[in-house]
Amino acid sequence: MGFGRVAEKELDLIQRIVGSERMSTGDSVLDLHGKDESFHTRRRPDVVAWPLRAEEISQILRMANERRIPVTPWGAGTSLEGNPIPVNGGIVLDLQQMNHVIELREEDLQVRAEVGVIYKELNQYLSRYGLFFPPDPGAAASIGGMVGNNASGVRTIKYGATKDFVLSMVVVLPTGEIIRIGTNAMKSSSGYDLCRLFVGSEGTLGVATEVTLRLIGLPAEFMAAVVQFSAIRNATNTVSQIMRSGLSPAALELLDTQTVQVVNRYKNLSLEEKPTLFIEFHGMSPTGLKEELEVVKEICADNQSIRLDSGIGREQRNRLWEARYDVHESIKASNPGFSSLVIDTAVPISKYPDMVEWGQKVLAKHGLKGYAFGHAGSGNLHMEIVGVPEQEDEWQKVQGAGEEIVSFALECQGTATGEHGIGIGKRKFMRREHGKSLDVMEQIKKLLDPNGIMNPGKIFE
């Protein structure tokens, strides 16, 4: 499909809508909005605008739709699959200035916030009221970007992903129409679930401007444990057994030996360099948590764990989680000049040990360097395979290994992406993962965005 251009006339129209101080065609701004945290090639937009209101977005979309100009929403640009890269140029709508908490409904455990609010800041604000929004992608992501990618993270195993917390949203459709979807009820059987449709749509169906989120009361007590094994299979078997035991961990993360080595070095830790699980439980009382720990100890012993540290204080626990959140940065820092292809497969929990083993075998077969870690309790494996995209032969090997790993996940009735979204890199797996239901997705896209202006080149090939 041919797209329209952003020429002087369009720039004038955008200026009339947002004013000259909230738009830019400056080189550094275009550069910054041409690349996320992935290896995918930078592609600059023609103009960046920072709207403040749904009405401004509506006017820009109406104009862009008439002229067939691509529009890409931008949250914080922390995606790992090229999701917000404006591959066809056009207009980037940077939503970071729409960053207000509109209303806290403490009694209802709900918050209404603009999409540019950074979730970590939201949680700092909510902590004063004993509340929190659990999905936690680790990076400084915006609520809008989390909705766009259906982000989740270390606590998803207990609490759920972003989709489980969105009650209602205001969305601007590609035609410029502003609609409210969902309700503020905790449950509803009323009609199609449009919130679930928009969550994870990666900015391809419209622009969310505000979101009402369900919240959780902050747990009274925490308990963390670090468990180490001499073989990774023992660690992954432990994961599936913990999940089957009736325990409800709040986090259950895997780090392979190579990952432990880089976090030791870059986060100044002294973990034994062995396959490791980070486990956390949330509860009402230390007694209940101790009982849960006893069951964990038994399962770990059955799987020949070589070390289990528990009774970890708040400060040490925070350091461990900081190290876990900084795995990507630690890998980057220890491989200067290299990029990573990031695997994000998720499989049914019984298949997790095989998934991890398969990933490691594929790397060994191709002689590639990589790191395996991930939200093990949710069956979600991350592998970062390092290489240099400009070295074509070598990078093809990296891509080929990535495909073999994803293929295994699909054979296990899993998914190519547990949380990072399709973006550019995972489009090639869509037909295999979804079969004929991909056609239904394409029909929905055509219905809502007949001119294909919203974030073109994503999700669909």
Ligand X SMILES: Cc1cc2nc3c(=O)[nH]c(=O)nc-3n(C[C@H](O)[C@H](O)[C@H](O)COP(=O)(O)OP(=O)(O)OC[C@H]3O[C@@H](n4cnc5c(N)ncnc54)[C@H](O)[C@@H]3O)c2cc1C
Residues engaged in binding ligand X (CB under 6 A): 36-37, 72-80, 83-84, 95, 115, 137-139, 141-142, 144-146, 148-149, 151-153, 202-203, 207-208, 328, 419-420, 455
Kindly tell me which of 75 and 414 has the beta carbon lying closer to ligand X: 75
CB of 181 to ligand X, least distance (A): 12
Kindly tell me which of 79 and 212 has the beta carbon lying closer to ligand X: 79
The rounded distance, in Å, linking the Cα atoms of 18 and 401 is 46
Kindly tell me which of 289 and 328 has the beta carbon lying closer to ligand X: 328
Structure tokens at 246: 């009736």
Kindly tell me which of 74 and 229 has the beta carbon lying closer to ligand X: 74
Kindly tell me which of 143 and 243 has the beta carbon lying closer to ligand X: 143
The rounded distance, in Å, linking the Cα atoms of 247 and 264 is 29
Structure tokens at 306: 């070589």
Structure tokens at 308: 């289990």
| Residue 66 CB-half CA count within 13 A | 8
**Angle between helix 392-411 and 352-366 (nearest 10):** 160
The rounded distance, in Å, linking the Cα atoms of 106 and 92 is 34
CB of 148 to ligand X, least distance (A): 2
CB of 48 to ligand X, least distance (A): 12
The rounded distance, in Å, linking the Cα atoms of 123 and 200 is 21
| Residue 98 CB-half CA count within 13 A | 31
Q: Which residue(s) pair with 327 in the sheet?
A: none
CB atoms within 10 A of CB 220: 12
SS3 219: coil
The rounded distance, in Å, linking the Cα atoms of 164 and 169 is 13
CB of 152 to ligand X, least distance (A): 5
Length of the chain: 461
Burial of residue 325 (CB within 10 Å: 0-12, 13-18, 19+) is middle
Q: Which residue(s) pair with 340 in the sheet?
A: 386
CB of 195 to ligand X, least distance (A): 12
The rounded distance, in Å, linking the Cα atoms of 56 and 14 is 9
The rounded distance, in Å, linking the Cα atoms of 37 and 54 is 27
CB of 288 to ligand X, least distance (A): 27
Query: Which residue type occupies 455?
Result: N
CB of 161 to ligand X, least distance (A): 8
Mark 435-459 as b/e (b = at least 16 C-beta within 10 Å).
eeebeebeeebeebbebbbbbbbbb
CB atoms within 10 A of CB 418: 24
CB of 336 to ligand X, least distance (A): 17
Kindly tell me which of 87 and 289 has the beta carbon lying closer to ligand X: 87
Kindly tell me which of 120 and 428 has the beta carbon lying closer to ligand X: 120
CB of 377 to ligand X, least distance (A): 13
Backbone angles phi, psi at 30, to 5 degrees: -65, -40
Kindly tell me which of 145 and 283 has the beta carbon lying closer to ligand X: 145
The rounded distance, in Å, linking the Cα atoms of 49 and 31 is 14
Kindly tell me which of 161 and 289 has the beta carbon lying closer to ligand X: 161
Kindly tell me which of 142 and 238 has the beta carbon lying closer to ligand X: 142
Paired sense of beta strands 178-182 and 216-217, if any: unpaired
CB of 154 to ligand X, least distance (A): 7
